[in-house]
Structure 1
Amino acid sequence: MFFHGWNNYLTLAYPEDELNPILCNGRGSDKLNPGNININDILGDYSLTIIDTLDTLAVLGEHEMFEDAVNKVLRDVSFNQDNRVQIFETNIRILGGLLSAHILATDPSYGHTIKGYNGGLLRLAQDLADRLIPAFQYTKTGIPYPRVNLRHGVQRTETVETCTAGAGSLVLEFGVLSRLTNNTYYEDVAKRAMRALWNRRSDIDLLGNVINIQTGQWIHTASSTGAGIDSYFEYLFKAYVLFGEAEYLDMFEDAYRAIMQHVRDPSGYLYRNVHMSSGALMATWVDSLSSFWPGLQVLYGDLDSAIKGHLIFYNIWRRYHALPERFDFYRKTVDIGFYPLRPEFIESTYYLYRATRDPFYLHVGEMVLEDLNNRTRLPCGFATIGDVRTGRLEDRMESFLLSETLKYLYLLFDTDNSFNKIDSNFVFTTEGHFLPLAGQYLKKPTSAASTPNKIDNRMCLLHNIDTLLQQHQHHHYIQHPHNLDISSIPYRPETDFAAAIVGSNSNEDNDEETFITSSILSDMLHSKGHCISPQTIQVERQYRKQEQQSFELTFNTDVRTHQLHRQSPKFVELVGGFLSRSLSGLKLEITKRSHRSGGGFQVTRG
């Protein structure tokens, strides 16, 4: 899949920024309509896709292709462009891609050094950062302008409104650039912006979504874990992992505590849009960008919450074979059906598999892989889904497909990959770029950094699985599953509860099989995700073969069964003596018997 997208980009689109998989050509900035920010925020005529994909080539072990791509960038790319681009997107895609590739090309410990390479990518990165710096220089708060012209700086008419994620997700790339160039200015301005946002949090430690960079007043007061605010929290925690400075962890833990108290709904599965000052509900949708949150929770060590949150997006994906941009959990319908091949859901799947080794997450990865191939693959690449309900495609293959989505899929299945075995302070940025930082670039720890109970920044929790699991001894997370192990995610009550939240059937009906659906089971699920005592229920379904006939299934709930299965039963007696491992995900195959065999129906598999 990767090489299908990559080779078509190089053949049909390079040196332009992106590939048009329907027209089979390339696209750059929209010169005819400079106000088209959907295109021009990201595309700056700087060969975006090749830069964004450099470290993916290294992750795949393609050393020669990595070296060839680096040489193309050094030969062809210039940032002296009369283009107005978004600070955030340029930082995470271009600056991050250059820095990651520079480290891989120079550090022999990762196995991808390039003979004769003399730091050209780092010089390009510094040139780009210098072109972004004007966004920080004319604000009263230190929060940067959202856009800058790469040649002329900030325009006089530039908006003074920016989102929290856009202004507060710069410190990883700017910080690494400062350490590598021995110029603290880049890191200082990024950290100042992050602090300026944090200092304007509400009394309950929540941040809004959009702020005025000159007055510091919040324009949009919704707080969430999704679009417009998402990566701010990600960069707080990952900055601590990478740089080891306790200030980042202190801010993250306060923010995390507030989110879990005010943004997470009482069930523990959904993270809503709430008012930053009161915690009152402001919208009944979740967006696809917030599917990154379970992955961050894994890194932080909150596996229980990560599993529940991931199941929401898993069931949305199963229902639509993609992840819509917005899903309304109240109406249980798509709010915005757009899916541009985003990586966040598979990113969280990758982290959860690394932490639990539950084969369920390999199944999730296989599901995503098959749906991408079946729904978005075209002869010239992979296309954006314009509406997940109809399957309508749009002519765009964004760079993050190669930079993140397929990278995380590959790492999910390639368990022996060397990048899965690195045991040091590195992170994947919000664009999926690999950023390590050698000890020589770390600042000396302060006394606060050695405070007890702080996470050791030298050991990312993702790679210290034993430590992570010891923190959750009250649950069993399988490391070496076997056939009779029913602690895997599909057999746990949380799975059906999450399916009920999004209105998804636990299993699909067809002409040959009839199943008990999660909509029926949902009435038996406790709000915390536990099964209550089984009740006698009768289920009538139509068997669609030659003639319409009905059958009846009854759960036996005598006193003994009622007492035995008061919470989360592992086995439930059915009429006729059939047994099920668990009420959650119960699946029966019903076969019609011939008249010679006495007629009726028979449970043939379950």
Structure 2
Amino acid sequence: MRICAGKISSLQQEKTVMEQSPRNPHPAIGCNAGGISLLPEHSPVLGVFSLCINRPKQLSFPVVKGTQVCLPIILCKTDIQDLLDCSKFPVYPKLYSYPQSDSIITPVINEACFYSLLVSVKPVDRAEAVREAFRHAWKGYKAFAWGHDELKPISKTHGEWFGLGLTLIDALDTMWILDLKEEFEESKRWVEKELSFTKNVDVNLFESTIRILGGLLSTYHLTGDSLFLDKAKDIGSRLMPAFNTPSKIPFSDVNIGKGIAHPPRWTTDSTVAEVTSIQLEFRELSRLTQDPQYQKAVDEVMRQVHRLDGKHDGLVPMFINTNSGKFTHRGVFTLGARADSYYEYLLKQWLQGGKKEPELLEDYLQAVEGVKKNLLRQTSPSKLVFVGELSHGRLNPKMDHLVCFLPGTLALGAHNGLPADHMDLAMQLMETCHQMYVQMETGLSPEIAHFNLQNHNGRDVDVKPADRHNLLRPETVESLFYMYRFTQDSKYRDWGWEILQSFNKYTRVPSGGYTSIGNVRDPVNPGPRDKMESFFLGETLKYLFLLFSDDPELISLDKYVFNTEAHPLPIWPSDS
């Protein structure tokens, strides 16, 4: 017997009709041999299903009404006797109009009979599905990349960046939050016995701070195990030579074995995001160690940036010179790469310190107004609100996926008493980030989207060939987590669930792990790139789990701030 069932969309809305798309060209998307194939996603319901003898040419997606699901199921005529005793159900022959016209969009022009079949639908445990995804990713890392920075799941080997076990350290607090005790204990033993920061290796100050220092500090707070604080002190002290510059704006690179820092070979500039997105971690290290040197160094960076010329309505350029301490390459303003987390950390430092540093709040509020004044536009035809880039007075309708951190940050500010219109903007931008996924054939966002300001092809989003890759990034699911925590609107969970399903469909590697892909527009050949970034475990799956968790006190947003690598750090007590 072959039975096809349409997908249940949402039980929270009065009426939901899912549009057809290249990803879902036909509503009969769940087919199994030997039984009804259902894709339940909600609490248990009593489904009312219409059984159509003789396949109609096309059926709509299901309409949801209250707790009843009108779900078309397509059967061959001979299958009916296998499934149920027809004599017990009413038969309506020769129906030539729209049966259940709100559910079926094409008339059934053959003889048909309809039966009512009551089916109990078991809900999917979405949080458990995230645990399963983590275990699958960890299976690949443990088998092919244990102790190394990154997994290459296709070639079943590893990639090295710093040689410091980045994926393992990034994932420590995720394992703790997901209650994966066995995996955590095994990883802890590696940290205790194998992790050493004495090696002669150059590391990037920003990346090693947010991933390693941040990961160790958050794991210390969650577990209370001093091993992680000791390791955090070690790496933190080894990164300090980066601040030995004429301007006190840190170099980008540090040799942690030799204690020597330097800029990249091609420039004396550092990126603004990198030098202004290490503050949460170093400030917390000072608080825990009672050693003020760490906070003093990063606070000086913020003081300098606060008073610098070259801003535009609170927006900052992307580069800053380590010799002069001044902005370079002025005139280009973005909330994407090289500037994004500057804005995020303005708000989060203010929250971390107990809302006692008014200059941080001042800079944040000014920047939000600068975004609204200079960077916001609407697409055609759907009037999606997006954040573009300003280049010497001219707007480029380009938005990095990285910018999808912004809805969550705006929502976090509104939750903490900032203007209510910040939440309004957060909701608009969240919809746009969602559309960056659903308008792609794989259901996964490109790295960069270009938005149409004029309706010339019926699409809101265009993607250039060089921008079609997906790196398993977390920013959209991060913002979905914030939006759900603050609104309790279940659609944000549904959107996150769709993303997880697309990850499983197009990026999951059977032998273990998930891979970045090269083309989100090609569901047949998405082009696996053979790399699982550490942030997939450190951020993406963590935020998805928290999104689906029913425990609002699991990493309470009134007690913790997340660093830009999703490592939760405590908000300081009022007496700090």
Task: Name the structure 1 match of 2:489.
Answer: 358
One-letter amino acid of the counterpart of residue 87, structure 1: L
Task: Name the structure 1 match of 2:566.
Answer: 432
Q: CA deviation at 1:418?
A: 4.1
Alpha-carbon distance in 1 for matches of 2:147, 2:228: 17
Alpha-carbon distance in 2 for matches of 1:303, 1:431: 23
Query: What is the TM-score of this pair, normalised by structure 2?
Result: 0.68
Task: Name the structure 1 match of 2:346.
Answer: 236
Alpha-carbon distance in 2 for matches of 1:223, 1:349: 25
Q: CA deviation at 1:309?
A: 0.7
Task: Name the structure 1 match of 2:504.
Answer: 373
Task: Name the structure 2 match of 1:258.
Answer: 370
Find 1:270's aligned residue among 386, 389, 394. Answer: 386
Q: In the alignment, is the contact (CA less than 8 A) between 1:18 and 1:27 conserved in 2? A: yes
Find 1:404's aligned residue among 524, 539, 543. Answer: 539
Q: In the alignment, is the contact (CA less than 8 A) between 2:388 and 2:396 conserved in 1? A: yes
Find 2:255's aligned residue among 149, 160, 177. Answer: 149
Q: CA deviation at 1:208?
A: 0.5
Q: In the alignment, is the contact (CA less than 8 A) between 2:389 and 2:397 conserved in 1? A: yes
For residues 479-490 of structure 1, what are the structure 2 equivalents within 5 Å?
A: none
Alpha-carbon distance in 2 for matches of 1:179, 1:211: 28
Pair 24,157 (structure 1): closer, same or farther in 2 beyond 3 Å: closer
Q: CA deviation at 1:438?
A: 5.1
Deviations, residues 500-519 of structure 1 (Å, cap 9, x unaligned): xxxxxxxxxxxxxxxxxxxx
Alpha-carbon distance in 1 for matches of 2:549, 2:406: 23
Find 1:163's aligned residue among 260, 271, 284. Answer: 271
Q: CA deviation at 1:161?
A: 1.2
The secondary structure found in structure 2 opposite 1:77 is coil
Find 1:342's aligned residue among 460, 473, 495. Answer: 473
Deviations, residues 461-494 of structure 1 (Å, cap 9, x unaligned): xxxxxxxxxxxxxxxxxxxxxxxxxxxxxxxxxx
Task: Name the structure 1 match of 2:81.
Answer: none
Deviations, residues 172-223 of structure 1 (Å, cap 9, x unaligned): 0001000000011111111111222232242532210112221214225311
Alpha-carbon distance in 1 for matches of 2:323, 2:395: 26
Query: What is the TM-score of this pair, normalised by structure 1?
Result: 0.65
Task: Name the structure 1 match of 2:21.
Answer: none
Pair 133,372 (structure 1): closer, same or farther in 2 beyond 3 Å: same
One-letter amino acid of the counterpart of residue 26, structure 1: H
The secondary structure found in structure 1 opposite 2:338 is coil
Alpha-carbon distance in 1 for matches of 2:185, 2:170: 14
One-letter amino acid of the counterpart of residue 334, structure 1: V
Alpha-carbon distance in 1 for matches of 2:171, 2:297: 27
One-letter amino acid of the counterpart of residue 254, structure 1: Q
Alpha-carbon distance in 1 for matches of 2:205, 2:290: 22
Percent of residue pairs bearing the same amino acid type: 33
Q: CA deviation at 1:257?
A: 2.1
Task: Name the structure 1 match of 2:24.
Answer: none
For residues 67-86 of structure 1, what are the structure 2 equivalents within 5 Å?
A: 67-86=185-204
Task: Name the structure 1 match of 2:447.
Answer: 325
One-letter amino acid of the counterpart of residue 27, structure 1: G
Find 1:195's aligned residue among 303, 309, 313. Answer: 303
Task: Name the structure 1 match of 2:57.
Answer: none
One-letter amino acid of the counterpart of residue 528, structure 2: L
Find 1:416's aligned residue among 547, 551, 554. Answer: 551
Task: Name the structure 2 match of 1:384.
Answer: 516
The secondary structure found in structure 2 opposite 1:142 is coil
For residues 514-593 of structure 1, what are the structure 2 equivalents within 5 Å?
A: none
The secondary structure found in structure 1 opposite 2:229 is helix
Alpha-carbon distance in 1 for matches of 2:312, 2:262: 35
One-letter amino acid of the counterpart of residue 357, structure 2: A
Alpha-carbon distance in 2 for matches of 1:401, 1:270: 25
Q: In the alignment, is the contact (CA less than 8 A) between 1:165 and 1:230 conserved in 2? A: yes
Alpha-carbon distance in 2 for matches of 1:59, 1:122: 18
Pair 136,393 (structure 1): closer, same or farther in 2 beyond 3 Å: same
Find 1:225's aligned residue among 332, 335, 340. Answer: 335
Q: CA deviation at 1:416?
A: 2.1
Check if 1:204 corresponds to 2:313: yes
Q: In the alignment, is the contact (CA less than 8 A) between 2:384 and 2:432 conserved in 1? A: no
Alpha-carbon distance in 2 for matches of 1:86, 1:423: 29
For residues 85-124 of structure 1, what are the structure 2 equivalents within 5 Å?
A: 85-106=203-224, 117=225, 119-124=226-231
Alpha-carbon distance in 1 for matches of 2:312, 2:348: 25
Q: In the alignment, is the contact (CA less than 8 A) between 1:98 and 1:124 conserved in 2? A: yes
The secondary structure found in structure 1 opposite 2:320 is strand
Q: CA deviation at 1:292?
A: 0.6
Alpha-carbon distance in 2 for matches of 1:175, 1:128: 14
One-letter amino acid of the counterpart of residue 559, structure 2: N
Q: In the alignment, is the contact (CA less than 8 A) between 1:21 and 1:383 conserved in 2? A: yes
For residues 457-468 of structure 1, what are the structure 2 equivalents within 5 Å?
A: none
The secondary structure found in structure 1 opposite 2:329 is strand
Q: CA deviation at 1:67?
A: 3.4
Task: Point out the more displaced range, 63-72 or 241-250.
Answer: 63-72
Q: In the alignment, is the contact (CA less than 8 A) between 2:473 and 2:535 conserved in 1? A: yes
Q: CA deviation at 1:437?
A: 4.2
Q: CA deviation at 1:326?
A: 1.0
Q: In the alignment, is the contact (CA less than 8 A) between 1:385 and 1:394 conserved in 2? A: yes
Find 1:213's aligned residue among 300, 306, 322. Answer: 322
Check if 1:26 corresponds to 2:158: yes
Check if 1:315 corresponds to 2:450: no
Alpha-carbon distance in 1 for matches of 2:312, 2:506: 46
Find 2:361's aligned residue among 249, 268, 280. Answer: 249
Pair 243,157 (structure 1): closer, same or farther in 2 beyond 3 Å: closer
The secondary structure found in structure 2 opposite 1:176 is helix
Alpha-carbon distance in 2 for matches of 1:156, 1:212: 10
Pair 25,71 (structure 1): closer, same or farther in 2 beyond 3 Å: same
What are the ranges of 5 or more consecutive residues in structure 2 without an aligned counterpart? Answer: 1-132, 415-421, 454-460
Alpha-carbon distance in 2 for matches of 1:157, 1:360: 44
Q: In the alignment, is the contact (CA less than 8 A) between 1:297 and 1:306 conserved in 2? A: yes
The secondary structure found in structure 2 opposite 1:183 is coil
Pair 156,345 (structure 1): closer, same or farther in 2 beyond 3 Å: closer
Q: CA deviation at 1:156?
A: 7.6
Q: In the alignment, is the contact (CA less than 8 A) between 1:143 and 1:197 conserved in 2? A: no
What are the ranges of 5 or more consecutive residues in structure 1 without an aligned counterpart? Answer: 29-42, 107-116, 444-606
The secondary structure found in structure 2 opposite 1:265 is strand
Task: Point out the more displaced range, 16-25 or 430-439.
Answer: 430-439
The secondary structure found in structure 2 opposite 1:154 is strand
The secondary structure found in structure 2 opposite 1:120 is helix
The secondary structure found in structure 1 opposite 2:405 is helix
Alpha-carbon distance in 1 for matches of 2:273, 2:353: 20
Q: In the alignment, is the contact (CA less than 8 A) between 2:253 and 2:261 conserved in 1? A: yes
Alpha-carbon distance in 2 for matches of 1:47, 1:418: 30
Check if 1:303 corresponds to 2:423: yes
Q: CA deviation at 1:417?
A: 6.1
Deviations, residues 106-151 of structure 1 (Å, cap 9, x unaligned): 1xxxxxxxxxx4x22212112212221111112x322111112222
Alpha-carbon distance in 2 for matches of 1:88, 1:212: 16
Check if 1:285 corresponds to 2:398: yes
Q: In the alignment, is the contact (CA less than 8 A) between 1:57 and 1:66 conserved in 2? A: yes
Alpha-carbon distance in 2 for matches of 1:222, 1:163: 13
Deviations, residues 29-83 of structure 1 (Å, cap 9, x unaligned): xxxxxxxxxxxxxx21111111101110111123443333222211110112222
Pair 282,151 (structure 1): closer, same or farther in 2 beyond 3 Å: farther
Alpha-carbon distance in 1 for matches of 2:532, 2:312: 42
